[in-house]
Each structure stands twice: as C-alpha cells, then as structure tokens.
Amino acid sequence: MVESGNTVIHPTHPVSYMTDAQTYYDGLISQGYTSDQAVSYTQQYYPDFQATPIAPTADVAPPTPSPMETPQMMASTIPQPTTTNPSGGGGIDIMAIAAVVCIALALIFSGMAQFNGSWLSSDADETGQSSSSGLRTVTLDCSEVTNETLQTGCMQLGISILSEGMTNESIASMTEKFSGETAVTGSMSDYCSNLYDYTIGMITLGETMTSAATGTTVEFTEERANASAAKTNCDDGVSAGSTGGIVLWVGTVVALTALVFTILGMVGINLPGGIEAHGKWVSLASGVLMMLAVLVWYLMLPSSEGSAMGASTGVFITVFGGVFAIVSAVLGIVGGMSKSN
C-alpha cells in the first residue's frame, strides 16, 4: 500500500495501476502541462510512475491542477458515443411503414392489371352476347343469352374465333377446355386473324351465291375493304396491348425494386453507395411508369368512335397502382424531410 497526502493507492494489480497512472499523465499533457510538470503531479498519486515519452504540446502557462483529481473522475468526463434512431423518435417509423404498405399495394395492383382480361368491355347486345379485352386476350361472354340453343351456338362461334388458326385440333382442344362454361377467352392476335378469315369467308360465300343467282360475277368490294380496315384496327389493338404491357412490366419491376429499397431503409440495412436511400425516387418512377402504361395503351388504340367498348377494371387497377406508388414516394420524401429537421 502507498500513501500520498490524503490519497491511498492500492497497487494490488500492477498492470492496472500503471495503466491508470499513464492515463492520468496523458490527461495532464493534453491539458497543456509540460512533461516535467505532468510527471511531478502524477507521482504525487502514483509514486512509482515513470513517464512514457510522447510528443509534447506547445508550452503554455498551465493552470494549477485540480487537487485530488483521480483517474476515475477523469474517466467520468469522457464523452460516450451516442447512436441515432433511424425513425428520429426512437419508436416505430409510421411514415416508413406506410410507404412500404403503399408500394406493396402498387406492386400487387400492377401484377393484377397485367393479367386482367378486362381493360375494355362492352355491355350485352340484343342477343345477350358481350365481350371484353385485356392487354393480350379477348373474352366472349354468352352468359346472358337466355335461349339454350342460341347460347350453345354463341359458345361454338366464340371457340372457333378464338382458337389458334381455327384448325380442327385447336377447336377440339378449346371445346374441351371450356366445356360447361358460358364464356370463352383466347389470344387477341388469334381473334384478329380468325375474325378476318371468317368475315372474308362469309363475303366469298355471299359473292358465290349472288353470282349463281344473277348469272354474273359479283364482288363485294366495299365489304372486303371494310373487313381489311377492321383487321387493321384489330391489329392496332394488339400492338397497343403489347406495348402498354411492356411499359407496365417495367413499372412492376421498378416497383419491386422500390419495395426492397424501402424495406432495407426502414430496417437500417445499408447497400453499397447507400442506394437504398433512393427508394422514394424509385417508387415515384414506378408510379409514373404505371400511369404511362395506361396512357401509351390508350393513345395506340384505334379510333373508338362508334365503338361500344369502354374502359374497364384493368385500367382502374393500373391507375390505383400508380397512385399508391406515388403516395409511397411522397411519404418517403416527407419522412426524410422530418428526419432532417
């Protein structure tokens, strides 16, 4: 045991004892004391202390050291590291959770819209038959045809028009697939080709019968021109659906990326370059792309003048998805501004 003034030092642990002494000495040096002064003051409390040479600071007139300042007292003044909570309030980040929910809904809606078969639809005509089309499909609905015989004929016509190439094999396959159903769905491109072939076939039959009845060669020129124009419009619809679908797929992939970034940012996981912080802008881009998909599809559609078809479920689902993605971006931006403040 070593006694110095009113302070008693118990060097029961030599390593700890010398470490404490060196810490006290270094603290005096950092306060501006010279090496000799620091050694002198340190040896008042640690008589066995020998200074380890360090680079001295510029000599200044030091203040009188506080008496009886122990290393433990000095240690208590060392600032402790602090951490910040990403939410800025130490609790649940409501803004971040809401942003994740919104972009997740946008992703779900965009996926549903991609496969929805009713971007355009029409009410039932006088026979009870109605139709609808998605981005790549056409559906003929015979459910409102009340006469059973007429309903069967409606389904047979729909199966023929929507089968691939209207071959016997494809018609048989479609008949088996939609057996017992009151609506049939097929490819829009097949529908355009088959409807044209069916129309031309009926025109040719009419020309033949009229020619036989009159004894002269008859050609329905206007009807053929109308059939060709209808085929062109139908093909334009195929192109519109294909292009709109591609833009929507891009928006869906971007929404998925935004969802990943937003979740990682919420839980505090950092990616290279901190790219997860840009999740709000990725969400905004996905929303814009979804809206753009609808706009591109609509602008590429053939003229709808006189058409009974109108915007339907698929369009509204896509718009809702785009709105949710944009709301997610706004929540991310506002949340970021709140944290900064």
Sequence spans of domains, the chain: 2-76, 94-340
Question: How much of the chain exceeds pLDDT 90, in percent?
Answer: 49
pLDDT mean over 275-304: 92
Query: Which one has a higher pLDDT value, 113 or 30?
Result: 113
Q: Which residue has the tokens 């071959």?
A: 167
pLDDT mean over 209-237: 91
**Rounded CA separation 321/19 (Å):** 64
Cβ within 8 Å of residue 296, ≥6 positions away: 240, 243, 244, 247
Please report the pLDDT score of residue 77 as a whole number: 44
**Residue 132 near residue 312 (C-beta atoms within 8 A):** yes
pTM: 0.67
pLDDT-derived band at 92 (thresholds 50, 70, 90) equals low
pLDDT higher than threshold 60 for residue 229:
yes
Please report the pLDDT score of residue 52 as a whole number: 61
pLDDT-derived band at 57 (thresholds 50, 70, 90) equals very low
Task: Tell me the H-state helices in the chain.
Answer: 14-30, 35-45, 71-76, 94-115, 148-162, 168-177, 188-214, 221-267, 279-300, 313-340
pLDDT higher than threshold 50 for residue 333:
yes
Please report the pLDDT score of residue 334 as a whole number: 87
pLDDT higher than threshold 70 for residue 317:
yes
Lowest mean pLDDT among 1-5, 13-17, 131-135, 160-164: 1-5
**Rounded CA separation 308/183 (Å):** 19
Please report the pLDDT score of residue 7 as a whole number: 44
Lowest mean pLDDT among 6-15, 242-251, 260-269: 6-15
Please report the pLDDT score of residue 68 as a whole number: 46
* Residue 4 bridge partners (DSSP): 7
pLDDT higher than threshold 90 for residue 138:
yes
Please report the pLDDT score of residue 32 as a whole number: 82
pLDDT mean over 13-30: 74
pLDDT higher than threshold 50 for residue 281:
yes
Task: Give the burial string for 150-186 (b: 16+ CB within 10 Å, else e).
Answer: ebeebbeebbbbbbbebeeebbeebeeebeeeebbbb
pLDDT higher than threshold 80 for residue 59:
no
pLDDT-derived band at 302 (thresholds 50, 70, 90) equals confident
Average pLDDT, the chain: 82
